[in-house]
Structure 1
Amino acid sequence: MRAITIPEPGGPEALVWSEVPDPEPGPGEVVVDVRASAVNRADLLQRQGHYPPPPGASAYPGLECAGVIGALGPDVTGWRVGQEVCALLAGGGYAERVAVPAGQLLPVPAGVDPVDAAALPEVACTVWSNVVRLAGLGAGETLLVHGGGSGIGTFAIQLGAALGATVVATARKTKHRVLRELGAAHTVDYREQDFVEEVRRVTEGRGADVILDIMGASYLGRNVAALATGGRLVVIGMQGGRKGELDLGALLAKRGTVAATALRSRPVAEKAEIVRGVREQVWPLIEAGRIRPIVDRRLPMSRAAEAHQLCETSEHVGKVLLTTG
């Protein structure tokens, strides 16, 4: 088969469309014939040499895919060859085939294009596990989503709105119209506006109950300032740095919670548990049309370098897909 390899870390030109050995399914695994994968921020970091795959994972980038089951390994039940699926991966999505633990498979939701389904697994599992499972977002609460135009952001906006929350999203001004169409009640231009002031304004001084943050250090103090009493801040990215100063007094005064999570490095059993939760709670919302995959564009997988260049500009909205067909 062919896959995107990274012989040496570097810029987008480091991605090479190469002939590589076919994967074989191990016990409890299936092989998926990939129709599409999606570009995630983690892929850019891996290409640069900053985010190596966890032990035992494929060396090829790609944390999600959609395709058709091509082979079943020993001890796999409940799935069949030829079935259309999408999958959460620890790596290997930028390839024509990938071996996947069966617990990380999801059926393509009814009504979703089988290629566009590649835009769903990573964002659905990340957002649900953090916003719902960990932070416990409820109807009537306020959710602040940073990076609202990203794959994570566009999904979080839709899920928050579907759950009955009021969603505030930060993004560059050119993306605001789309984010409002997806369900954001308020949008903040992070280049021109202070998101703390805006959150306080639209919540009449109360603050955000849940904040989903991709920035990390550079936003830490302001995120705590934007929290409501009893608020929950969940950090899932470090685009603004690794180390920041936390005012514990401010956090104590708000009886707030700060959590930080990663998905890729979790054990297979934990990922399977998250996937089950997504299938039970999120897939019905997708099939009802309340959430949809947001795809900026599709590019052939051989043009992965171009896709990475686009994602580094952050000009896109939602996901950029890489297709094998």
Structure 2
Amino acid sequence: MVKKKVLVFGSSGMLGSYFCNLLEEKYPDFEVIRNDKADGGVDITEEPQVREAIYDNEVDFVVNCAAYTDVNGAEENPEIAFKVNADAPKYMAQACHHLNIPFIHISTDYVFGDNREKGYPEDYDEFNPLNVYGVSKLEGEENVLGIKGDNYIFRTSWLFGPGATNFIDKISKYARELPELKVVTDEVGCPTYVRDLSEGMILALKGEVDPGIYHVCSRDSLSRYEFAKEILKLQGIDTPIREAKLEDFERKAQVPHISILLNTKLDEARTSTEMLEEYFKGNK
């Protein structure tokens, strides 16, 4: 049996490493080719290097898990954010189009910013990103979709998983060190475990979903405060949490108060609690 080659950019990050490991462990029909600058891979902001990596490996799919995700840092380093989040996916999509192979790109709920209480379906097109990170990711989407080809965009939010410092790890750490925590009640979103996002992306590799935009996140939405309470509850930590507001914390980037992605195209997602339970089970 000839395996299908999958080139994964950003293979050393939280999502990339989990996605690659999952493919290698459970999907023998695919051969994973990892490419990350941190491990000697190409610089994805250089078009010739991207093109060479895709052409030389004779791959069947290209997956972009690389991104500049420091939301506050993007305010100070917009040039880097746009090179990684907007230019790089364009180079990848162009090369994939030339070879007539599918391209999978990861995006974010931060392309929106209207605080829409009923959420954003996949075809919602009134974009209003509130920060440089969101603008750079939106430009990346537009660059990819502007190139004819079999392009997939998977938007996600509040992504968490092993191998990276995330909201869950920070809350857990501070709860063990401090007498109480302060967490905001006016930032609402949909947490996402890396396995759920990875499984969604694999549907594209298997040809079980058509090219287009997909939303992968928990089926419920909750505030950071509610999420923090659930995080501590599942670990048996009883540190009290006080309610706070976004305005109580100084930060460079503005973020939406309500950012709810609606999944209307894939099977019903798990709840945030179900995702958290698996995360803690795997990280004991």
Q: TM-score, normalising length from structure 1? A: 0.25
Higher normalized helix content (fraction of residues) = 2
